[in-house]
Each structure stands twice: as structure tokens, then as C-alpha cells.
Amino acid sequence: MPEDLAPSRPANMSEDFDSYFRDDVSLLTAFLIKLGADPQEAADAVQETGLKMFSIWGKIDHPRAYARRTAERVYLRSKARRADEDTRLMQGGWAVQGLSDQPSEVLIFNEEASELINMIRMLPPKQRRVFAWRLDGFTPAEVATELKEPVGRVYSALRDANQSMREMWDRLKLEREQRVEAAGRGKTDERPGF
């Protein structure tokens, strides 16, 4: 077979990509949710990321890091585009501001995992970004490399994020204890239904 007619990638490269992406898709989706995406936004960004990765699969040296960088960019670009569209619709009188500015709820069966995701979403954007990368198993040095930030800045953001997370967790724990104590005395913080 002449060289110019040979396939551009070996047959097993497609299988390698499929195997990698199948293993990483749920982790990549969770990574985007930690960054603040709702499940649909995350799924859309992951799908677009998969298409981009497949088209250049043979050139990617570090798939996990590349996937997270690309998915984050896709998500943020999509979020900015939606915000711009919403603004233009409101300015044109075609839409009114929504009743809620909260992201869609994430269905998580473990209450503590759900609380953790909500706390991560409350972190400032830079801390949330570094924290999400770290939770995905990247070392601070790897995070610094992937985000093109000085290692010291990554460590600083992680320190601040960890402190904020500890404070939020302590508050949450105290609130739980107070609810349990109040329930034990016959008091609840529930309001009567209508």
C-alpha cells in the first residue's frame, strides 16, 4: 500500500482512546461540577472535549491533564456565551431575569459528597479551580504546570481553599449538631406546610 494511502493512525489508537475516555468520562464530569458546572453543562463540555481529543489523540502526551484543561476552557467559554446571550435577551426585552441564580442541583446519593461539592462551589474561582485539580489527583507542581501558574501561587490558593473548606465544614457540623439537639428536645427548624 502506498504511504499516502496508509491510515493516519493505527487501528488500536481508536481503541486506546475509547478505553481512556470510558475510564475518565465520569471523573472529568465530576471535575467540571467541582468547578461550578451543572450536570448538563458538564456533560456538554465533556462531549466536546472528547471530540477534540479524538481528533488529535496521537499527539496528546498527558490525556488526563489535557482533558481537564480543554474541558475547563470549553465550559467557561460556553458559560460566557450563555451569559452574553442572556444579557442581550434581557436588554432587548425578550427575557426576564430568572427566579433563581443557583446552578441546577446535582443528584448525589452521599450527603457528605453533596455537601462537599456545594462547599467547593462557594470557594472563590481561583481557589476552586486549583482545589478541583488537586482533588482530581494532580500534585501542586502538576497543577502549576497545567494552569501555567507559579507553584507558590498554587500552594497559596490550596492553603486558602483548605482553610475555607475547614471553616465551612466546622460550621456545617455545628449546624447539624444543633439540629439534632433541637430535634431531641422536640423542636424542629421545619416550617409547617400550607
CATH number at residue 162: 1.10.10.10
In eight-state DSSP terms, residue 110 is S
Say how far apart CA 132 and CA 127 lie, in whole Å: 8
Specify whether the CB–CB gap between 143 and 134 falls below 8 A: yes
Range of the domain at 68: 7-96
pTM summary value: 0.58
If asked whether residues 89 and 167 sit together in one domain, one would say no
**Residue 123: inside a domain, yes or no?**
yes
Specify whether the CB–CB gap between 46 and 28 falls below 8 A: yes
Q: State residue 15's pLDDT score.
A: 74
Query: Could you tell me the pLDDT band of residue 183, with boundaries at 50, 70 and 90?
Result: confident
Query: Could you tell me the pLDDT band of residue 187, with boundaries at 50, 70 and 90?
Result: low
| Residue 29 one-letter amino acid | T
**What is the chain's mean pLDDT, rounded?**
79
Which phi and psi angles does 169 have, rounded to 5°? Answer: -65, -40
If asked whether residues 140 and 73 sit together in one domain, one would say no
- Residue 18 C-alpha cell reads as 475509547
Say how far apart CA 56 and CA 39 lie, in whole Å: 26
Say how far apart CA 70 and CA 160 lie, in whole Å: 25
CATH number at residue 81: 1.10.1740
Query: Could you tell me the pLDDT band of residue 92, with boundaries at 50, 70 and 90?
Result: low
Whether residue 112 is predicted with pLDDT greater than 60 in this model: the reply is yes
Query: Could you tell me the pLDDT band of residue 94, with boundaries at 50, 70 and 90?
Result: very low
Domain boundary among 75, 96, 117: 96
**Residue 92: inside a domain, yes or no?**
yes
CA R_g for the chain: 22
